[in-house]
Amino acid sequence: MKKLNTTLIYVLSSLSLLCCCFFGLGILLALPSFLIANKKFKEVEEFADEYEMEDLKIINTAKTFAIVALTINSVFLIYSIYSLATTDWDMIKQQYIDAIEQYQQ
């Protein structure tokens, strides 16, 4: 019997959730995590006799976690792009200047 290792999938998915706060850039970690999980899932399904039934449940859970991380990062990336596209830059510049003046006083 082969042993299935899903640590990389969980680590990449977890790090992508932490990185989603940076304009959704966690998608750069979530996408490979999902692709690896999907590849492993297909491998386990194809060679089911070489793996235990518990391994199918384990990889299915890892794949679900990767999908959730990918979805959250995708939504936050789309929101960030929309936010940057619809922002009034003059207002942000004025707020920045006001904050600097307040800090200097």
- Kindly report, residue by residue over 56-90, the tens digit of the pLDDT: 889 999 999 999 999 999 999 999 899 888 888 88
Q: What is the pLDDT of residue 16?
A: 93
Q: Give the domain range for residue 82.
A: 7-104
Q: What is the pLDDT of residue 95?
A: 87
The total number of structural domains that make up the chain = 1
Is position 28 within any domain?
yes
Contact status, residue 9 vs residue 40, Cβ threshold 8 Å:
yes
pLDDT of residue 48 exceeding 90, the answer is no
CA distance 89 to 76: 21
Angle at 66 between CA 37 and CA 31, to 5 degrees: 80
Is position 70 within any domain?
yes
pLDDT of residue 28 exceeding 80, the answer is yes
Q: Tokens standing for 53?
A: 């039934």
Residue 86 has, within 13 A of its CA and on its CB side, a CA count of: 6
Cα→Cα distances 27→22, 60, 67, Å? 10, 20, 11
Which whole number is the average pLDDT over 82-103? Answer: 88
CA distance 105 to 99: 10
Is position 65 within any domain?
yes
Is position 2 within any domain?
no
Mean pLDDT, the chain, whole residue set: 90
Q: What is the pLDDT of residue 21?
A: 82
Is position 48 within any domain?
yes
